[in-house]
Chain A
Amino acid sequence: MWIYEKKLQYPIKIENPNPLYAGIIISQLGGPDGELGAATRYLSQRYSMPYQEVVGILTDVGTEELAHVEMISTILHQLTRNLTPEQIIEAGFDKYFVDHTVGVYPQAAAGVPFDTKYIGVKGDVFADLTEDLAAEQKARVTYDNLLRLIDDPDVREPLKFLRQREIVHFQRFGDALRVAQDRGDAKNYYACNPAFDKPAREPR
């Protein structure tokens, strides 16, 4: 079970609202490589994962992703404070505004609502872990693209932190893959799926 901590993982204090930035950063909440998908992906993959260390990594990275959901949501909230109708229209934020006002709704930048089609839970050790490695890289690229478009240091600093976390998570999933390979048949890792075929459980 989970317990909430009333703090952000990294400080966020944005002075100047900017609905245009909000409209693109929202992809890291509910977009194809966003934090909500990341948390859902890793926490869902745990149940079929036969290795304790890997379940630990999925649990702890998945939990951190929930904290990133909160960080992105905080950025969106602070970027959409005290807006006038003129600012909303000028920034092209009107199409979001008409449905959600300035509430924080998980969707992609192009307006597509969050979808679990963005994530994979294959129930296979190597398929799931390589999905996770790719997911971290794709999220890193999305942060790269946001940083190409955004000037405000108040917004850039937390995004740079989140970008770094994608790289660290990629490395930790690399550890997870190594753990899985160490337990497998070095001549053919794919001879069986340790999450399904017997013996599925590591000895304790």
Chain B
Amino acid sequence: MLRLQELSFAMKETELFLDGHPENRRALAYYAEQKAEYDAQKAEYEATYAPITPGAGENDTEWRWVRSPWPWEYGFPDGGAVTPAAVDSGEER
């Protein structure tokens, strides 16, 4: 999850820059790179752990969207758990 957050933040930053500089080659190349890795990592995460958007991954027998913790519930289904104590002390996961 941390890697996905890093990649999507890199994409968001580049998106904002590209909005004002739509022909910047370096930024375009950087965006393509981040997006390719994000798409791959996201597909793997959603297949292995839980959907990030409704309907992602396999939902043959169960709607997995409501079967994993929400982002404010101190943990992610890949085991990247954050305890309330760690949050309070500013400790990194």
Contact = CB atoms under 8 A, between A and B. Distances in A.
Contacts, number: 15
Given A47-B72, A60-B54, A55 B66 contact: yes
Contact of B66 (A46, A47, A56): A56
A178 B69 CA distance: 21
A46 B8 contact: no
B70 interface: yes
A51 B11 CA distance: 32
A144 interface: no
Contacts of B70: 46, 52, 55, 59
A53 B65 CA distance: 9
Interface residues of A, number: 10
Contacts of B67: 52
Given A1-B8, A60-B54, A53 B72 contact: no
Nearest to B8: A1
Contacts of A1: 8
A56 B72 CA distance: 13
A53 B66 CA distance: 5
A46 B69 CA distance: 12
Counting chain A CB atoms within 10 Å of each CB, which of B54, B69, B70 scores highest?
Answer: B70
Contacts of A55: 66, 70
A46 B67 CA distance: 15
Interface in A144-169: none
A52 B66 CA distance: 5
A1 B5 CA distance: 10
B70 to A, nearest CB: 6
Interface in A54-91: 55-56, 59-60
Q: Which A-B residue pairs are the 7 nearest by beta carbons?
A: A56-B66, A52-B66, A53-B66, A55-B70, A56-B65, A47-B72, A60-B54
Interface of B: 8, 54, 65-67, 69-70, 72
Interface of A: 1, 46-47, 52-53, 55-56, 59-60, 204
